[in-house]
Amino acid sequence: MAAVSITGSGHNSEITLKKIHDGGNSFKRDTATTHSQVKLMQQALTSIGYDTQGADGKFGANTESAVKAFQSACGLDADGCFGKRSLEELESRIGRHLDPDNCTSSSGGTTGTEALRKGDSGERVKALQNRLNELLYYCGTADGSYGESTYLAVKYFQERNELSVNGIAGSGTLGKLNSASPVKGVSSSIINWKAQQEPVTFYQNRGFWADYPYDAKNTTEVEIMAKAACGPTSMAVVASTLLGKAIIPPIMANLALSMGYRNHDGYGTDEGFFKACAGKFGLTYGGRYESKSRSTFEKVKSWCQNGGLVIINVKEASPYTNGGHFNVCYKVENDKVYIKDVNYNKRNEPHHTISEWINTSNGEWFDELHLIKR
């Protein structure tokens, strides 16, 4: 076990990260004490963009300001005191224990009640993954490794069950998972979804993933889901609806990145992703259509009537985008095209006529259509 180095006799001299983990204690502003674990906290905060203006182990004004900014971003009470909730949020952001030698470890936990975090592994993690999948929170194969997909699925479970959204499977989360009536990953209307009914609702710019990275290699700034992930979000709507389980947008975004379909000039997602992703999840890809004609929408109408969904690449001439955008068509009826838009902006009313889609004064509204069904 690594030694904890403390000099001085201020408030923080009596505190350790383990005590904070156990609850009831917090680091707070104290320039009379130099503490090696305050230094770890400063380094971690700075690494994720909350600059403490140096990591000297002293909890001064700059560190307090950084802690407050971090707490505010996490939806916590921004009091500047670094307690249990702040520590859990920070560890979830950096993906590891801040100081594993001095915190209760959950890898292969001995009691079955210790918290599980990203980076942990073992049979308890595998059991967690199996339970998430059973409750329709897709986290991939239950391999016993608490990776990014498990972390994201836990966060979505926490969000839907009104728990603290931190990606850590602590006592509250584990208790809810194993309770008699946890909220499932999708509603009963999606579990029992039928052709031409409204699909699951996901927005690229709502929920805990709005600022989740969906980065492009050739851009100078970090791209986020809210700005660039309409493609993965549309695919998440389609796959989750057709399969009856929550395959959430950030998991889809990571899949697009890992499969090489992120356009690295910053312009969203390559359209080849939809066919590749349909194949990965055992869905039927019915083809890609570019013809701007009524007959194309008759094909879409028939596809939707027979249990399919359609991802549409809409153009600048449409009311949906200023530069290109994906959304989902789930019904064509009485000359109306029904759209589930994945950008939260209240554009989900029964929509527009086929004529508007294919023949407007400003040009066609769409570029390509991708047909997918189970």
Q: What domains are there in the chain, each with its CATH number?
A: 6-102 (1.10.101.10), 123-177 (1.10.101.10), 188-373 (3.90.70.10)
Handedness of CA 347, 352, 357, 361 (dihedral sign): negative
Widest CA span in the chain = 79
Give the model's pLDDT for residue 362.
60
- Asked if pLDDT for residue 255 goes beyond 90, the answer is yes
Distance CA(57)–CA(42), nearest Å, equals: 7
> Per-residue pLDDT averaged across 320-346, rounded?
88
Higher per-residue confidence, 176 vs 200: 200
Q: What percent of the chain has pLDDT over 90?
A: 62
> Per-residue pLDDT averaged across 12-36, rounded?
91
In the structure, what pLDDT confidence band is assigned to residue 348 with cuts at 50, 70 and 90? Answer: low
- The burial of 163, by beta-carbon neighbours within 10 Å (0-12 exposed, 13-18 middle, 19 or more buried), is given as middle
Give the model's pLDDT for residue 167.
94
Give the model's pLDDT for residue 95.
66
C-alpha separations of 365 from 73, 198, 272, 314, 317 in Å: 37, 22, 20, 6, 5
Alpha helix ranges (H) inside 74-182: 84-94, 123-134, 148-160, 171-177
Give the model's pLDDT for residue 109.
33
The two beta strands, 352-353 and 308-314, are: unpaired
Higher per-residue confidence, 33 vs 266: 33
- Asked if pLDDT for residue 100 goes beyond 60, the answer is no
Give the model's pLDDT for residue 107.
40
Least trusted range by pLDDT, from 72-86, 251-265, 332-346:
332-346
Higher per-residue confidence, 259 vs 322: 259
Question: Please, how many CA atoms are within 13 Å of residue 68, restricted to the half-sphere of its CB?
Answer: 12
Give the model's pLDDT for residue 191.
96
> Per-residue pLDDT averaged across 178-202, rounded?
94
Give the model's pLDDT for residue 347.
58
Mean pLDDT of the chain: 88
> Per-residue pLDDT averaged across 237-254, rounded?
98
Higher per-residue confidence, 222 vs 247: 247
Give the model's pLDDT for residue 357.
85
Residue by residue, DSSP assigns 211-227 as T-B---TT-SS--BHHH
- Asked if pLDDT for residue 69 goes beyond 90, the answer is yes
Q: What percent of the chain has pLDDT over 70?
A: 90
- Asked if pLDDT for residue 253 goes beyond 60, the answer is yes
Residue 119, Ramachandran bin (φ over 0: left; ψ between -120 and 50: alpha; else beta): left
Distance CA(363)–CA(374), nearest Å, equals: 33
Cβ within 8 Å of residue 322, ≥6 positions away: 316
* Residues making up the chain, counted from first to last: 374
DSSP summary character for residue 7: E
Give the model's pLDDT for residue 342.
94
- Asked if pLDDT for residue 58 goes beyond 50, the answer is yes
Express each pLDDT in 103-136 by its tens digit: 444 443 323 557 899 999 998 999 999 999 999 9
In the structure, what pLDDT confidence band is assigned to residue 251 with cuts at 50, 70 and 90? Answer: very high
Least trusted range by pLDDT, from 3-7, 206-210, 239-243, 249-253:
3-7
Tell which residue, 61, 90, 63, has the closest CA to residue 76. Answer: 90
In the structure, what pLDDT confidence band is assigned to residue 346 with cuts at 50, 70 and 90? Answer: low
Give the model's pLDDT for residue 275.
97
In the structure, what pLDDT confidence band is assigned to residue 360 with cuts at 50, 70 and 90? Answer: low
Express each pLDDT in 150-171 by its tens digit: 999 999 999 999 998 999 998 8
Distance CA(340)–CA(6), nearest Å, equals: 57
Express each pLDDT in 290-314 by its tens digit: 888 888 999 999 999 999 999 999 8
Contacts 24+ apart (CB under 8 A), 69-76: 70/45, 74/166, 75/165
> Per-residue pLDDT averaged across 91-105, rounded?
64
